[in-house]
Amino acid sequence: MHGQKRAEYKARLLHPDTRAKLGSKAQQWNHLSEELLKQRRRLFSSPPPLSDIDTRGKANEGNAAAAAPSPEVLLALTEKMLSVNPDPSHLWNIRREMLVYLIQTAPPSAMNTTDDDQEGVDNDSSAKSSILDIEVELKLTAHCLQRNPKSYSAWFHRKWALVYFMNGSTSQQEHWTNMKSILQSELELCVQFLQLDERNFHCWNFRRFVVGLLGSSGGSDVTTTSENDGEVNNDDDEPTTTSAVDNFSGSWSAWMHQIEEEDKEVWMGPQISQNACRAVGMSTGSKDGSSDAIKSTTPLSKRELEKIIMNEWDFSTAKIQDNFSNGSAFHYRSKLLPLVLEFRSSGDSASSPSEAYEAISLARDEWDAILLDAIFTEPDDQTIWFYHRFIVTWARRNTVVVDGADAEVTEEFEGLLYDMVDSIQELIDVEKEDSFEGNTQDRHESKGAKCKWAYLGMHLVLSTLLEFKSNEVDDEDKIELRERTKECLDELMRIDPDRRERYQILESKLYR
Which 377-416 residues touch another protein, going by CB under 8 A? 377-382, 412, 415
CB of 281 to another protein, least distance (A): 25
Binding mask 228-267 for another protein (x = CB under 8 A): ----------------------------------------
C-alpha dist (Å) from residue 277 to 103, 226, 231: 36, 15, 21
Q: Where are the alpha helices (DSSP H) in 106-247?
A: 108-114, 124-129, 134-147, 152-168, 173-196, 201-215, 240-246
Q: How far is the CB of 144 from another protein (least distance, A)?
A: 8
Stretch that binds another protein, among 298-306, 315-323, 480-488, 489-497 (CB under 8 A): 315-323
Closer residue to another protein (CB): 238 or 414: 414
CB-nearer residue toward another protein: 301 or 361: 361
Instruction: Work out whether the CA dihedral 123, 125, 128, 129 comes out positive or negative.
Output: negative
Backbone angles phi, psi at 49, to 5 degrees: -55, 135
| Least distance (Å) between residue 492 CB and another protein | 15
Tell me how many degrees the CA angle 28-34-40 measures, rounded to the nearest 5: 130
- Cα separation of 421 and 459, whole Å? 9
Give the count of residues interacting with another protein (CB under 8 A): 81
| Dist CA 54 CA 64 (whole Å) | 10
Query: Is the sign of the CA dihedral 349, 352, 356, 360 positive or negative?
Result: negative
Torsions phi, psi for 227 (to 5 deg) = -80, -40
Enumerate the H helices of 346-451 as residue ranges.
355-366, 372-377, 382-399, 407-432
Based on CB atoms, which residue is closest to another protein, 304 or 412?
412
Map the footprint of another protein across residues 146-175, applying CB under 8 A.
146
Stretch that binds another protein, among 256-264, 281-289, 294-302, 310-318 (CB under 8 A): 310-318
Q: For another protein, what does the binding mask look like between residues 319 and 358, x meaning CB under 8 A?
A: x-xxxxx---------------------------x-----
User: For residues 75 and 506, which CB has a smaller minimum distance to another protein in the complex?
Assistant: 75
Name residues contacting another protein, limited to 30-49 (CB under 8 A): 31-32, 35, 39
Residue 201 CB, nearest approach to another protein (Å): 17
Query: What is the rounded radius of gyration, in angstroms, for the C-alpha atoms of the chain?
Result: 29
Minimum CB separation of residue 21 from another protein in Å reads 7
Q: Looking only at residues 454 through 493 of this chain, which bind another protein when binding is defined by CB under 8 A?
A: none
The footprint of another protein on residues 77-106 (CB under 8 A) is: 77, 79-81, 83-84
Stretch 13-32 residues interacting with another protein (CB under 8 A): 21, 25, 28-29, 31-32
Nearer of residues 176 and 387 to another protein, judged by Cβ: 387
Check binding of 499 to another protein (CB under 8 A).
no
Residues 356-375 that bind another protein (CB under 8 A): 361, 364, 368, 372-374
State the Cα–Cα distance between residues 403 and 313, nearest whole angstrom.
30
Residue 189, CA distances (Å) to 143, 166, 218, 321 in order: 12, 18, 22, 20
What lies within 8 Å, CB to CB, of 125 at 6+ separation is 167, 168, 169, 170, 238, 242
List the x/- string, 61-80, binding to another protein by CB under 8 A.
Answer: -xxxxxxx-x-xx-xxx-xx
| Binding to another protein, residues 118-137 (CB under 8 A) | 136
Q: Are 194 and 203 in contact (CB under 8 A)?
A: yes
Shortest distance, position 416 Cβ to another protein, whole Å:
8
286 binds another protein (CB under 8 A): no
441 is an interface residue for another protein by CB under 8 A: no
Q: Pick from 152, 248, 252, 376: which binds another protein (CB under 8 A)? A: 376
* C-beta of residue 328 within 8 angstroms of C-beta of residue 199: yes
Cα dihedral 479/483/485/490 (nearest 10): 160
Alpha helices in 232-300 (DSSP H): 240-246, 252-263, 270-280
Among 249, 435, 440, 504, contact with another protein (rule: CB under 8 A): 435
Q: Which is nearer to another protein, 109 or 321 (CB)?
A: 321
Query: Which amino acid is residue 352, in one-letter code?
Result: S
> How far is 268 from 259, CA to CA, in rounded Å?
11
| Distance of closest approach, residue 53 Cβ to another protein, in angstroms | 15
